[in-house]
Amino acid sequence: MRRVVWTVRPTQCGAYVQAIRVIHDEHRALAAVLYGMLYLVREIRYRCVKPNFDVLEAMIYYIHAFPERFHHPKEEAYLFRILRFRCPDAAPPLDRLQAEHRAGADKVRTLEQALARYQQEGAELLAPFSAAVADYAALHWDHARTEEDELLPLTEAFLTAADWEEIDAAFTGHSDPLVGAEAGAEYATLFRGIVNLAPPPLGGGPDVSGVA
């Protein structure tokens, strides 16, 4: 496949924008939950730690609700839409990223089903659940890297100050008709709840290092 080499113009906004910080922060929050899931699965598989299904369910709920209802809709309705208008040549990577959003939703459903079967049927179904966690995590790492390394530099180059005013308002919760201004606080509270439930070294919950 031929690699596209972008000719990037000087930034249009000339100033740091809040939306870029928010996108980075949201990627890191989701990554932290995924690292936590991978860690817990390794502890169960290789140290025979008893599974804490409350924590695992909360983590899966977070990665289902946060990307699908909050993060991805904002990206598509604001950042992607405006960049398509300002830079038509960005259509291929934007199409790929939106396809990955849809693929991610499918993988989360697979993850939910794998956890339910593992919880109902026992240790013999840990391996499929572990594979589903790793599969979703790999998609997220690649997706976030593409957005941060390829897409965000284009937005900084081609979007105008007026564009960023609209995008910043959406991403900082000042005016978000998609999910409501309170949504960011809701997911922040959920994230803190996961940290409080998760055992050390992930969080401040009880140590469950006893064998299953």
User: In 104-117, which positions are buried (b, 16+ CB within 10 angstroms) versus exposed (e)?
Assistant: beebbeebbebbee
In a domain, 40, yes or no: yes
Task: Show the domain range for 48.
Answer: 18-197
In DSSP terms, which residues pair with 211 in a beta bridge? 49
CATH of the domain at 179: 1.20.120.520
In a domain, 167, yes or no: yes
Q: Indicate if the pLDDT at residue 8 is higher than 70.
A: no
Query: pLDDT for 18-56, tens place per residue?
Result: 899 989 988 888 888 888 889 899 999 999 999 989 889
In a domain, 11, yes or no: no
> Cα–Cα distance between 46 and 65 in angstroms, integer?
30
Query: pLDDT for 80-123, tens place per residue?
Result: 999 999 999 999 999 999 999 999 999 999 999 999 999 999 99
In a domain, 205, yes or no: no
In a domain, 163, yes or no: yes
In a domain, 8, yes or no: no
In a domain, 2, yes or no: no
Structure tokens at 112: 């939910």
Query: pLDDT for 148-188, tens place per residue?
Result: 999 999 999 999 999 999 999 888 864 333 344 455 566 56
- Residue 76 DSSP one-character state: I
Domain count for the chain = 1
In a domain, 135, yes or no: yes
Give the pLDDT of residue 177: 39
Mean pLDDT of 56-67: 87
Give the pLDDT of residue 194: 66
Mean pLDDT of 199-211: 47
> Cβ contacts of residue 203 below 8 Å, gap of 6+?
36, 194, 195, 196, 197
Closest CA to 12 of 157, 125, 110: 157
**Residue 192 or 210, more confident:** 192
Average pLDDT score over the chain = 81
